[in-house]
Amino acid sequence: MIRPILRYGERPLHERAADVTAFDDDLHRLIDDMIETMYAAPGIGLAATQIGVPLRIFVVDLSVGRKAEDLIVMVNPVFVERDGTQLEEEGCLSAPGFNATVIRPGRVLARGANRTGDEQTIEATGLLARAFQHEMDHLDGMVFIDRLRGIKRDVIVRKIQKLRKSGKW
């Protein structure tokens, strides 16, 4: 089932998510909904907080459904290593129409569980590392806009506030 994606400013998007404790049918249904919602958007990543579910789960697929092996489901993820730097444009399904350059580590080693609860460790560089960190931020209640500083951030936030006031957000 495709779920509505929350937008910047909607409260559940800005709250920290809790660990998953049960790998049951409800979790599997939620993960399936997240994958379907990500593909329908379309997007390369989605966190549970973006559909208003405060649990530490994200899905990432750089191929957006074209290659089955590219789909990654991460439950209760943590970064065990982070190094290097990358500086690229970033966007978000929760802030359609906005992009900004965000500084991120260039490489991460992420550990978490897959959908059945088995531990998995995935090394990521480039865009995949960026996607992991972007989605991990969502699980901590943070959108990429919150990583910007000064005028860059103010301009985007002001535009979003205007859109909200006119009912276009």
Query: Of 81, 90, 123, 135, which residue is the catalytic one?
Result: 135
Under 8 Å between Cβ of 145 and 137? no
Under 8 Å between Cβ of 3 and 33? yes
Give the interface size with Ni ion as a residue count (CB under 5 A).
1
- Distant-in-sequence, close-in-space partners of 128: CB < 8 Å, separation ≥ 6: 60, 62
Calculate ∠ Cα 102-81-79, nearest 5°.
75
Amino acid letter, residue 50: Q
Q: Would you call 15 a catalytic residue per the annotation?
A: no
CB of residue 156 to Ni ion, shortest distance in Å: 14
Nearer to Ni ion by Cβ, of 12 and 23: the residue is 12
Residue 135 has φ and ψ, to the nearest 5°, of -70, -40
Amino acid letter, residue 99: N
Nearer to Ni ion by Cβ, of 23 and 142: the residue is 142
Residue 143 has φ and ψ, to the nearest 5°, of -105, 155
Stretch that binds Ni ion, among 19-27, 55-63, 84-92, 105-113 (CB under 5 A): 84-92
Nearer to Ni ion by Cβ, of 23 and 64: the residue is 64
Nearer to Ni ion by Cβ, of 75 and 92: the residue is 92
- Within positions 15 to 74, which residues make up the interface with Ni ion, using CB under 5 A? none
Q: Does 92 bind Ni ion (CB under 5 A)?
A: yes
Stretch that binds Ni ion, among 3-11, 54-62, 87-95, 121-129 (CB under 5 A): 87-95
Note the residues at the interface with Ni ion (CB under 5 A): 92
Active-site residue list = 135
